[in-house]
A and B are shown apart, each in its own frame.
Chain A
Amino acid sequence: MKPAPFSYFAPESLNAALELAAEHGYDAKLLAGGQSLVPAMNFRLVQPTVLIDLNQVDELAYVRETEQRGLRIGAMTRQRSVECDPLVAEVCPLLAEVMPHIAHPQIRNRGTIGGSLVHSDPAAELPVVAVALDATLTVRSNSGQRRVPALDFFQSLFTVDVAAGEMLVEVEFPPWSARTGYAFQEVARRHGDYALVGAAALVTLGEDGLCERARLVFLNVGDVPMEARHAAGMLRGQRLTEELIEEALNVAAEEEIDPVADIHATVAYQRHLARVLGRRCLQEAEARAQQIVEGR
């Protein structure tokens, strides 16, 4: 349970970090909060020969509002800072709602938003939020930067669109219409443990009370966040009756997720949870949107 030896660098600027990343390429691992990487190193599942510690790169820790009333969050922002930031609660309430579900307070004190997104654990909450909200991720190297939509960023199990020498530096959450309600729910055996299944939903209502736009994304029922696009499409332009939600979730739970049986849950149970959590989330999101519409 002790890590293998490595050379340690703690650059104090993004440019210095990118230079080191370019120089060491595949031999290097970038250390953010370390709440997933360090356990893996303790188990010697990961044995980088070079560790580039980003914890001194203060310029990557920030939460800012965009001109369009979205959010830009620096990759090294601690999960606990995101959780407690009133700007996040105001501008991006789904993100604020999800934060307490991530592991335990001690982990969130150290863990970062960028670290969790890049780690891309299928049971992690932040990738699901990024996909649900149409986030854009900014990836930089010492030769330039590119912006990647969340849907393309998460490629497969623990694999994202970041090459050796590159680094995730920022995630941007665009604004959603004001008449949007949101919800997130998950089922875990123990508080703070990896969830068996989770769901995030967004529902935008028109002035007429009909569903203008909907989004439904599931957690831990596939290698990456599983977006139920057909199910969400069935809701568009409709009143969200119980029957319609049930019908949409049949499609979502039977055709749009890809659960694998493990010691914690059978495939049938995971589909059942997806159906139940999906329904609860859509209903809660719609109720919240309804409150906003009526509040006007």
Chain B
Amino acid sequence: MQSVTVTVNGQQYQRQIEPRLLLSDFIRHELRLTGTHVGCEHGVCGACTILLDGNAVRSCLLFAVQVEGCEITTVEGLAPDPEVLHPLQQAFWEAHGLQCGFCTAGILMTLIPFLEENPNPDEPQIRAAISGNLCRCTGYQHIVDAVKIAAEKTRAEHA
């Protein structure tokens, strides 16, 4: 067993874990943050995407022992309070950007740094950005619409 201390959504956690514990399982089973979903567990589906020190990464391709001292954001860290959605979540709600919702957390976490780096993306850029996230319900069209709405609103707020 090995000790790991990590900050998740602003809160510090310390746990004793086996080195082979995947970060995705650590987040879900040890921290009980089940918003991060586990799909393929080999880095293909993108459902488990989280932010590690601000970068979107697959949590199923990291061991929890590797994130000692790191800052992690999961989907639970997006909404400012239980009654108010993050602007990106709000846009997904408005554009019907999800059906079953299994892929949504991973897609949101992929898009947060993407929109920060690229506040005015065109459609090919949006599609390239979410190319590493599989959605089997929507056919992606409404997801792309949601990203456009979110980008527009964010730009309007900053204008």
Q: What residues make up the interface of A, taking CB atoms closer than 8 Å to B?
A: 1-8, 10, 34-35, 38-39, 42-43, 51, 53, 55, 80, 100, 103-107, 109-110, 190-192
B20–A6 CB distance below 8 A: yes
Known: A5-B18, A6-B20. A104 touches B131 (CB 8 A): yes
Interface size class of B (residues with CB under 8 A): 20 to 34
A residues less than 8 Å from B65 (CB atoms) = 8, 10, 53
Are B43 and A39 in contact, CB atoms less than 8 angstroms apart?
A: yes
Rounded to whole Å, the gap between the CB of A81 and the closest CB of chain B is 11
Residues in chain A near residue B60, CB distance under 8 A: 38, 42
Which residues of B come within 8 Å of A, CB atoms? 2, 18-20, 22, 25, 41-43, 46, 49, 55-58, 60-63, 65-66, 68, 110, 114, 127-129, 131-132
> Given A2-B22, A6-B20 in contact, is the A106-B132 Cβ separation under 8 Å?
yes
Residue of A nearest to B62 (CB): A34
Of the candidates A7, A53, A106, which one forms a contact with B57 in the assembled complex, judged by CB atoms under 8 Å apart?
A106
On whether the beta carbons of A106 and B62 are closer than 8 Å, the reply is no
Name the residue among A5, A35, A106, A109 with the largest chain B CB count within 10 angstroms. A106
Q: How close is B25's CB to chain A, nearest CB, in angstroms?
A: 8
Q: Are B66 and A53 in contact (CB under 8 A)?
A: yes
Known: A2-B22, A80-B55. 17 other contacts (CB 8 A): A3-B20, A6-B19, A6-B20, A8-B65, A10-B66, A38-B43, A38-B61, A39-B43, A42-B60, A51-B63, A105-B110, A105-B132, A106-B56, A106-B58, A107-B132, A109-B55, A110-B55
In contact, A43 and B42 (Cβ under 8 angstroms) = yes
Query: In the complex, what residues of B have CB within 8 A of residue A8's CB?
Result: 2, 19, 63, 65
| Complex CA distance for A51 and B20, rounded to whole angstroms | 10
Contact A106 B19 (CB under 8 A): no
CA distance A5 to B68 in the complex (A): 19
Nearest chain A CB to B107's CB is how many angstroms away? 11
User: If the complex has contacts A42-B22, A105-B114, A106-B49, are A55 and B132 also in contact, measured as CB distance less than 8 A?
Assistant: no
Asked if residues A7 and B19 are in contact (CB atoms below 8 Å), the reply is yes
In the assembled complex, the CB of A150 is this many whole angstroms from the nearest CB of chain B, namely: 26
Q: Which residues of B contact A107 (CB under 8 A)?
A: 43, 58, 132
- Tell whether, in the assembled complex, residue B20 and residue A191 are in contact, meaning their CB atoms are under 8 Å apart: no
Q: Is the CB of A109 within 8 A of B132?
A: no
Given A3-B20, A8-B19, A39-B42, does the pair A105, B129 have CB atoms closer than 8 Å? Answer: yes
Q: How far is the CA of A6 from the CA of B2 in the complex (A)?
A: 12
Q: How far is the CA of A29 from the CA of B49 in the complex (A)?
A: 25
Residue of A nearest to B65 (CB): A8
Query: Complex formed: what's the CA distance from A260 to B131 in Å?
Result: 27
A42 close to B128 (CB less than 8 A) = no
Minimum CB–CB distance for B82 against chain A, Å: 28
For B41, give its contact among A4, A7, A42, A80 (CB under 8 Å): A42
Tell me whether B132 and A104 are in contact (CB under 8 A). yes
Q: Which residues of B contact A38 (CB under 8 A)?
A: 43, 60-63
Knowing A8-B2, A55-B66, A104-B131 are in contact, say whether A109-B43 is a contact too (CB < 8 A). Answer: no
Cα of A4 to Cα of B62 in the assembled complex, Å: 14
Complex Cα gap A44–B42 (Å): 11
19 contacting pairs across A/B (C-beta < 8 A): A2-B20, A3-B22, A5-B18, A5-B19, A6-B19, A8-B2, A34-B61, A35-B43, A80-B55, A100-B128, A105-B110, A105-B114, A106-B56, A106-B57, A106-B58, A106-B110, A106-B132, A107-B58, A192-B131
Please indicate the chain B residues that have their CB under 8 angstroms from the CB of A100 in the complex. 128
Which residues of chain A are near B114, meaning CB under 8 Å?
A: 105
In the complex, A10 Cα to B63 Cα: how many Å?
Answer: 12
